[in-house]
A and B are shown apart, each in its own frame.
Chain A
């Protein structure tokens, strides 16, 4: 017979494993489909406009939706990869106990923000479906995208439960790397063999 604490631990571990698996799958959607499609569509629209004088009338709507898919698909995995900006001056010097409290505050703020976002987006989606809301030029119902946004936000909220510190999460074959610099608008460090620096 397991104690309530053991059950809670098992439950949290389950949330961690499942949300991690889902967040990796979502990340692959962003990397392999949404972002390349976004780039291709923007270029195609320019070419069609200037070469054939026939721009895509629904181009802007689809670009917007692809951006939404790109961003929200990668949001949970971005947290696990440590891609978030925080003031590290004090945080990095905190003792482990203080840091744990800081992580609790991070988790609480993040869960408040993204869980509310997710719940409300999922509540909005049926309403949008009922009213038949579409894009401005694209006559496609947009409620599935609102629902997708809500789903991804809830996955991030689950990741915040599974990995409250936002440190790079190693598990189930972590992919990608993370540069360890204060500014995160970074490319990989030059010791990456694919970079020019690595070749020189």
Chain B
């Protein structure tokens, strides 16, 4: 009883610190050590303080994080995104809403090699928004499509969020990457269909662009080559069992550098900037991973997690009821925290229940990432919407949120399909060697 009380007290103290704005890593690490200090004495607390980071910071799996972040940062600086957009536009720019559909597909493909939704919106938004303005696209549709499509960056592999989830839950990162492919394609198809039918019914929303000639289209295919090549190299390598995710990340980084050589797309300043940003982003993620582990040790000692699992399983909500609760939970968490915060705070408590209910952790990873996508475009945080606003400062924030709304409905439809047909996420991983 005392143990559980200390556990509950620690959770309340953690929530208080988080509400005060204490960085998540500090709050989890500090409260975790304090709790261990109270329960097991200073020697145990001191030992955990050094042993947890020592073990985690040398993990071969975690090498994946800085390398995939670096790959994304390098791609971001190469100018490959412009080629990608031009290549896709030559094929589909002429249909109703074609520019917006092109942006969805370009975001999906660009996201596939950057793994970051914000980088995807920032890059593609700056390229596509002036084009859509030129063709008289409805600004609500244009900004909404771009902000929502940027979220594909975290679902289509490689994805930093999948790595983060995989590390936290000890789920195969390779399987998670592969599991994200079909739901990612489904989401991109859903977004494209939404745009197409809306523009078909109300042509002024997204007038067709010029029809590309066949020579232009053939040339466009060549432009798509570098990005598609990188995707095939990285994901094909993981899927085929040639590379571990860590090796694939290293090879991917080198691949970007090689792809950038022909057009002299990278200079030293850009490489240096990519390295700096990568290091800073990685540090931020590692800090919360280490803090999260320390807090998880405290929870394990108190046995609070087991108590929560017993209560939730005892409620007999069933799989559907539990997932519905989680949708609500992640909507609330997403309104207060960023994606990584959402995960680090919820996964230690939610994951044991997920396993107790027999939900596949790979499937659940896809579910969580789609919920993270929703959080990225819904108020009050809606990180993608904020980035979009910086790109289109004359479009009111409210209009962007309204423009995003149909795509959020699309995301929920994808979640529904995923619940009804779990094979959407699990079929491809089941074929892995």
Q: Using a CB–CB distance below 8 Å, which chain A residues touch chain B? A: 27, 30-32, 35-36, 38-39, 41-43, 45-46, 50, 60, 63-65, 67-68, 70-72, 74-75, 77-78, 81, 83-92, 94, 99, 101-102, 105-106, 108-110, 112-114, 116-117, 119-121, 123-124, 146, 149-150, 153, 166, 175-176, 179, 181-190, 192, 194-200
Q: Once bound together, how far apart are the Cα atoms of A166 and B341, in whole Å?
A: 17
Residues of chain A with a CB closer than 8 A to B118's CB: 179, 181, 183, 185-187
Q: Is the interface of A mostly helix, strand, loop or mixed?
A: helix
Number of residues in B with C-beta < 8 Å to the partner?
99
B126:A197 contact, CB within 8 angstroms: yes
A106:B50 contact, CB within 8 angstroms: no
13 A-B pairs whose Cβ atoms sit less than 8 Å apart in the complex: A35-B279, A64-B58, A65-B58, A83-B281, A83-B284, A91-B21, A105-B20, A109-B17, A175-B276, A183-B339, A187-B122, A190-B390, A200-B82
Q: Once bound together, how far apart are the Cα atoms of A43 and B32, in whole Å?
A: 37
Residues of chain A with a CB closer than 8 A to B22's CB: 86, 102, 105-106, 109
A54 vs chain B, min Cβ distance (A): 15
B345 vs chain A, min Cβ distance (A): 10
Residues of chain A with a CB closer than 8 A to B381's CB: 89, 182-183
> Which partner residue on chain A sits nearest B153 by CB separation?
A185
Choose from B116, B282, B294 the contact partner of A74 (Cβ within 8 Å).
B282
Q: Is B107 an interface residue (CB 8 A)?
A: no
Known A119-B46, A196-B79; further 14 A-B contacts with Cβ < 8 A: A42-B67, A42-B246, A70-B282, A74-B279, A74-B280, A89-B380, A94-B21, A114-B29, A149-B50, A187-B76, A188-B277, A194-B267, A195-B76, A200-B82
Residues of chain B with a CB closer than 8 A to A200's CB: 82, 126-127, 130
B180-188, B203-211, B247-255 - the one binding chain A: B247-255
> Which partner residue on chain B sits nearest A113 by CB separation?
B29
Q: Is B351 an interface residue (CB 8 A)?
A: no
Q: Once bound together, how far apart are the Cα atoms of A110 and B76, in whole Å?
A: 33
Number of interchain pairs (Cβ within 8 Å): 288
B25:A84 contact, CB within 8 angstroms: yes
B2-10, B91-99, B285-293 - the one binding chain A: B285-293
Q: Is B45 an interface residue (CB 8 A)?
A: yes
Q: Once bound together, how far apart are the Cα atoms of A126 and B386, in whole Å?
A: 50
A36:B23 contact, CB within 8 angstroms: no
A81 vs chain B, min Cβ distance (A): 6
Residues of chain B with a CB closer than 8 A to A30's CB: 279
B283:A185 contact, CB within 8 angstroms: no
Q: Using a CB–CB distance below 8 Å, which chain B residues touch chain A? A: 17-27, 29-31, 33-34, 45-47, 49-50, 53-54, 57-60, 62-63, 66-67, 69-70, 72-73, 76-82, 114, 116-119, 122-123, 125-127, 130, 160, 242-243, 246-247, 249-251, 253-254, 267, 269-270, 272-273, 275-288, 291, 294, 335-341, 376, 380-381, 383, 386-387, 390-391
Choose from A35, A85, A196 the contact partner of B288 (Cβ within 8 Å).
A85
Residues of chain A with a CB closer than 8 A to B243's CB: 46
Choose from A42, A90, A117, A197 the contact partner of B249 (Cβ within 8 Å).
A42
Q: Which 8 A-B pairs have the closest CB atoms?
A: A197-B126, A91-B21, A42-B250, A109-B30, A64-B58, A190-B126, A113-B29, A183-B383
Residues of chain A with a CB closer than 8 A to B272's CB: 31
B237 vs chain A, min Cβ distance (A): 9
Q: Once bound together, how far apart are the Cα atoms of A116 and B75, in whole Å?
A: 39
A197:B127 contact, CB within 8 angstroms: yes
